[in-house]
Amino acid sequence: MSDRPLHPAVDIPQVIVVTGVMAAGKSTVSQLLAERFSRAVHLRGDEFRRVVVRGRVDMSPHGDPEAERQLALRHAITAHSANEYAAAGFTVVVQDLFVGASLQPFLDQLTARPLSLVMLAPDVGTVMQRESERAKVGYGDLWSIRDFDHKVRTETPHIGLWLDSSQQTPDETVEEIVARLAEARIA
């Protein structure tokens, strides 16, 4: 846990959504960011996907209606959980993959305020390097890193703070998010 708390003026219950392409550093950055608050939750939306034991349909570039329905369910559960934690006095760092048209419906379900969005947007070469160094595989036969990055950059609403973290360590990324949190506010 980090020994550097946020300035008391911003250490208030709120929701901070951290998203970005696969291998952008969302998990690491979100955990480090949550550790900067005195009362915080790191809510990993993907956990709600993994708890489905049978019948799970994962997203693919081919657009499966059942996968999209399950994604919307996962986002609804994540939003509800974030709202409840914030209402109980926690800062909630929500980490998940919100791409294209899935972002705004998720944000619309968040009632807690303040609400901020951080899009981690490292360059394609950095994502390729990070993907090759991690244990889990986000890309493969279904997803091209370049195509997925293009989809995120062209189909996702450009709101909140879009941060090129290509040349930053996770700690440096968190420092920049903290310093620029006002720019990330969307509500």
User: What structural domains does the chain harbor?
Assistant: 15-184 (3.40.50.300)
Strands (E), the chain: 15-20, 40-44, 91-95, 115-120, 161-163
Is the pTM higher than 0.85? The answer reads yes
Number of Cβ atoms within 10 Å of the Cβ of 106: 23
Residues 93, 91: Cα–Cα separation, whole Å: 7
Return the pLDDT at 6: 56
Per-residue pLDDT of the chain (187 residues; tens, 9 = 90+): 556 655 554 678 999 999 998 889 999 999 999 999 999 999 998 899 999 999 999 887 777 899 999 999 999 999 999 999 999 999 999 999 998 899 999 999 999 999 999 999 999 989 888 888 877 666 566 677 888 888 889 999 999 999 999 999 999 999 999 999 999 999 7
Residues 6+ apart with CB under 8 A from 85: 41, 43, 92
